[in-house]
Amino acid sequence: MRKTSLVLAVLGITVHLEAAAMSVEERVASQCATCHGEKGQSVSPLFPSLAGQNREYMVKQLNDFKAGKRKSETMSPQVADLGQEEMAALAAYFSAQPAKQHRVSDEEIIPVGRYIYRKGNSWSGVPACADCHGADGHGTAVLPRLAGQSSRYLLMQLKEFNQRTRTNDNQAMHMVASRLTEFEAKAVADYLSQMP
Protein backbone atom coordinates (compact mmCIF):
# COMPACT_ATOMS: atom_id res chain seq x y z
CA MET A 1 0.00 0.00 0.00
CA ARG A 2 2.82 2.40 0.92
CA LYS A 3 4.67 1.56 -2.27
CA THR A 4 1.56 2.28 -4.38
CA SER A 5 1.05 5.61 -2.61
CA LEU A 6 4.69 6.54 -3.16
CA VAL A 7 4.50 5.65 -6.87
CA LEU A 8 1.30 7.69 -7.29
CA ALA A 9 2.87 10.64 -5.48
CA VAL A 10 5.97 10.51 -7.70
CA LEU A 11 3.80 10.25 -10.82
CA GLY A 12 1.75 13.23 -9.65
CA ILE A 13 4.88 15.31 -9.11
CA THR A 14 6.25 14.26 -12.52
CA VAL A 15 3.00 15.19 -14.30
CA HIS A 16 2.93 18.53 -12.49
CA LEU A 17 6.57 19.27 -13.37
CA GLU A 18 5.97 18.34 -17.02
CA ALA A 19 2.93 20.65 -17.13
CA ALA A 20 4.94 23.46 -15.53
CA ALA A 21 7.79 22.93 -17.99
CA MET A 22 5.60 23.57 -21.05
CA SER A 23 6.49 26.57 -23.17
CA VAL A 24 3.80 29.17 -23.80
CA GLU A 25 3.38 27.93 -27.37
CA GLU A 26 3.00 24.33 -26.17
CA ARG A 27 0.45 25.38 -23.55
CA VAL A 28 -1.50 27.37 -26.13
CA ALA A 29 -1.45 24.48 -28.61
CA SER A 30 -2.42 21.85 -26.07
CA GLN A 31 -5.00 23.76 -24.01
CA CYS A 32 -6.01 27.15 -25.35
CA ALA A 33 -6.17 26.87 -29.14
CA THR A 34 -9.16 24.54 -29.30
CA CYS A 35 -11.48 27.31 -28.09
CA HIS A 36 -9.51 30.54 -28.38
CA GLY A 37 -7.47 29.86 -31.54
CA GLU A 38 -3.71 29.46 -31.95
CA LYS A 39 -3.22 33.25 -32.04
CA GLY A 40 -6.09 34.12 -29.71
CA GLN A 41 -8.68 34.72 -32.42
CA SER A 42 -11.57 32.59 -31.22
CA VAL A 43 -12.73 29.71 -33.37
CA SER A 44 -16.34 30.12 -32.14
CA PRO A 45 -18.48 33.08 -31.06
CA LEU A 46 -19.15 31.15 -27.84
CA PHE A 47 -15.57 31.77 -26.68
CA PRO A 48 -13.81 35.10 -26.28
CA SER A 49 -11.01 36.19 -28.54
CA LEU A 50 -7.90 36.78 -26.47
CA ALA A 51 -5.82 38.44 -29.19
CA GLY A 52 -5.00 42.01 -28.20
CA GLN A 53 -6.69 41.63 -24.80
CA ASN A 54 -5.14 43.54 -21.91
CA ARG A 55 -2.54 41.51 -20.01
CA GLU A 56 -3.50 42.49 -16.48
CA TYR A 57 -7.16 41.84 -17.20
CA MET A 58 -6.38 38.35 -18.53
CA VAL A 59 -4.26 37.51 -15.48
CA LYS A 60 -7.11 38.64 -13.22
CA GLN A 61 -9.63 36.50 -15.10
CA LEU A 62 -7.34 33.45 -14.98
CA ASN A 63 -6.91 33.95 -11.23
CA ASP A 64 -10.68 34.38 -10.81
CA PHE A 65 -11.32 31.12 -12.70
CA LYS A 66 -8.71 29.34 -10.58
CA ALA A 67 -10.12 30.70 -7.31
CA GLY A 68 -13.71 29.95 -8.34
CA LYS A 69 -14.75 33.63 -8.33
CA ARG A 70 -15.68 33.27 -11.99
CA LYS A 71 -17.52 30.02 -12.57
CA SER A 72 -16.84 27.94 -15.67
CA GLU A 73 -16.95 24.20 -16.19
CA THR A 74 -14.63 24.69 -19.17
CA MET A 75 -12.05 27.09 -17.76
CA SER A 76 -11.72 25.89 -14.16
CA PRO A 77 -9.91 22.65 -15.05
CA GLN A 78 -7.79 24.47 -17.67
CA VAL A 79 -6.30 26.83 -15.09
CA ALA A 80 -6.04 24.39 -12.18
CA ASP A 81 -2.31 23.75 -12.65
CA LEU A 82 -1.28 27.22 -13.84
CA GLY A 83 1.07 29.23 -11.68
CA GLN A 84 1.36 33.02 -11.65
CA GLU A 85 4.33 33.04 -14.04
CA GLU A 86 2.50 30.88 -16.58
CA MET A 87 -0.61 33.06 -16.33
CA ALA A 88 1.51 36.15 -16.94
CA ALA A 89 3.29 34.48 -19.88
CA LEU A 90 0.01 33.39 -21.50
CA ALA A 91 -1.45 36.87 -21.02
CA ALA A 92 1.65 38.47 -22.58
CA TYR A 93 1.49 36.04 -25.51
CA PHE A 94 -2.18 36.69 -26.30
CA SER A 95 -2.02 40.46 -25.70
CA ALA A 96 0.74 40.72 -28.33
CA GLN A 97 -1.41 39.07 -31.04
CA PRO A 98 -3.42 41.23 -33.47
CA ALA A 99 -7.12 41.53 -32.68
CA LYS A 100 -9.67 40.59 -35.29
CA GLN A 101 -12.41 42.76 -36.76
CA HIS A 102 -15.75 41.17 -37.58
CA ARG A 103 -18.18 41.91 -40.37
CA VAL A 104 -21.61 43.08 -39.33
CA SER A 105 -24.66 41.86 -41.23
CA ASP A 106 -26.76 44.98 -40.57
CA GLU A 107 -24.68 48.13 -41.08
CA GLU A 108 -27.63 50.38 -40.18
CA ILE A 109 -27.45 49.32 -36.53
CA ILE A 110 -23.87 50.60 -36.16
CA PRO A 111 -24.75 54.29 -35.57
CA VAL A 112 -27.07 53.28 -32.71
CA GLY A 113 -24.31 51.20 -31.15
CA ARG A 114 -21.79 54.01 -31.62
CA TYR A 115 -24.15 56.48 -29.91
CA ILE A 116 -24.84 54.21 -26.91
CA TYR A 117 -21.17 53.28 -26.62
CA ARG A 118 -19.95 56.88 -26.74
CA LYS A 119 -22.79 58.77 -25.05
CA GLY A 120 -24.97 56.22 -23.25
CA ASN A 121 -28.72 56.67 -22.95
CA SER A 122 -29.67 59.42 -20.51
CA TRP A 123 -33.36 58.46 -20.71
CA SER A 124 -32.81 54.97 -19.34
CA GLY A 125 -29.74 55.70 -17.22
CA VAL A 126 -27.23 53.75 -19.33
CA PRO A 127 -23.79 55.34 -18.96
CA ALA A 128 -21.46 55.66 -21.91
CA CYS A 129 -19.43 52.46 -22.31
CA ALA A 130 -16.49 54.59 -23.46
CA ASP A 131 -16.24 56.16 -20.01
CA CYS A 132 -14.77 52.88 -18.70
CA HIS A 133 -13.66 50.94 -21.78
CA GLY A 134 -12.16 53.90 -23.65
CA ALA A 135 -13.16 55.68 -26.85
CA ASP A 136 -11.41 53.03 -28.94
CA GLY A 137 -12.86 50.06 -26.99
CA HIS A 138 -9.38 48.91 -25.97
CA GLY A 139 -10.15 49.03 -22.23
CA THR A 140 -7.53 49.59 -19.55
CA ALA A 141 -5.13 47.45 -17.57
CA VAL A 142 -8.03 46.23 -15.42
CA LEU A 143 -10.92 46.50 -17.87
CA PRO A 144 -11.28 44.34 -20.97
CA ARG A 145 -10.69 45.25 -24.55
CA LEU A 146 -14.09 44.97 -26.25
CA ALA A 147 -13.12 46.11 -29.75
CA GLY A 148 -12.94 43.19 -32.17
CA GLN A 149 -14.71 40.77 -29.84
CA SER A 150 -17.46 38.63 -31.38
CA SER A 151 -20.86 40.30 -31.19
CA ARG A 152 -22.44 37.06 -30.03
CA TYR A 153 -19.91 36.65 -27.22
CA LEU A 154 -20.47 40.25 -26.07
CA LEU A 155 -24.23 39.69 -26.04
CA MET A 156 -23.79 36.51 -23.99
CA GLN A 157 -21.70 38.39 -21.43
CA LEU A 158 -24.23 41.24 -21.20
CA LYS A 159 -26.98 38.67 -20.64
CA GLU A 160 -24.91 36.94 -17.93
CA PHE A 161 -24.24 40.27 -16.21
CA ASN A 162 -27.94 41.14 -16.41
CA GLN A 163 -28.98 37.79 -14.92
CA ARG A 164 -26.07 37.85 -12.44
CA THR A 165 -24.83 34.49 -13.71
CA ARG A 166 -21.45 36.05 -14.48
CA THR A 167 -19.96 35.57 -11.06
CA ASN A 168 -17.17 38.13 -11.12
CA ASP A 169 -16.98 41.82 -12.05
CA ASN A 170 -20.77 41.95 -11.79
CA GLN A 171 -21.59 45.00 -9.71
CA ALA A 172 -21.09 47.81 -12.25
CA MET A 173 -21.88 45.72 -15.31
CA HIS A 174 -25.18 44.43 -13.90
CA MET A 175 -26.43 48.00 -13.64
CA VAL A 176 -25.46 48.71 -17.26
CA ALA A 177 -26.70 45.42 -18.71
CA SER A 178 -30.02 45.55 -16.87
CA ARG A 179 -30.83 48.95 -18.40
CA LEU A 180 -29.97 48.12 -22.01
CA THR A 181 -32.81 47.06 -24.28
CA GLU A 182 -32.16 44.00 -26.45
CA PHE A 183 -31.86 46.29 -29.47
CA GLU A 184 -29.34 48.56 -27.73
CA ALA A 185 -27.30 45.59 -26.53
CA LYS A 186 -27.20 44.14 -30.06
CA ALA A 187 -26.27 47.53 -31.53
CA VAL A 188 -23.41 48.07 -29.06
CA ALA A 189 -22.14 44.50 -29.53
CA ASP A 190 -22.17 44.85 -33.33
CA TYR A 191 -20.49 48.24 -33.15
CA LEU A 192 -17.70 46.86 -30.96
CA SER A 193 -17.19 43.71 -33.01
CA GLN A 194 -16.36 45.65 -36.16
CA MET A 195 -13.95 48.04 -34.42
CA PRO A 196 -10.18 47.56 -34.93
Provide the CATH number for the domain formed by 2-95 in this structure. Answer: 1.10.760.10
Residue 56 CB burial class (10 angstroms; 0-12, 13-18, ≥19): middle
Domain definitions of the chain by residue range: 2-95, 107-193
The whole-model pTM stands at 0.86
Query: What is the distance between the alpha carbons of residues 69 and 75, in angstroms, rounded to a whole number?
Result: 12
pLDDT at residue number 43: 86
181 Cβ contact list (under 8 Å, min separation 6): 124
Q: Is residue 155 within 8 Å of residue 185, measured between CB atoms?
A: yes
Q: What is the pLDDT along the chain (196 residues), one digit of tens a residue?
A: 555 444 444 444 444 544 557 899 999 999 999 999 999 999 899 999 999 999 999 999 999 999 999 999 999 999 999 999 999 999 999 999 999 999 999 999 999 999 999 999 999 999 999 999 999 999 999 999 999 999 999 999 999 999 999 989 988 899 999 999 999 999 999 999 999 9
pLDDT at residue number 20: 54
pLDDT at residue number 8: 44
Using CA of residue 174, residue 179, residue 181, residue 186, what is the dihedral sign?
A: negative
pLDDT at residue number 2: 55
Q: Which CATH superfamily is domain 107-193 in?
A: Cytochrome c-like domain (1.10.760.10)
| Cα 58-96-27 angle, rounded to 5 deg | 65
Q: Is residue 51 within 8 Å of residue 39, measured between CB atoms?
A: yes
Q: Do domains 2-95 and 107-193 have the same CATH topology?
A: yes
Residue 122 CB burial class (10 angstroms; 0-12, 13-18, ≥19): exposed
pLDDT at residue number 11: 44
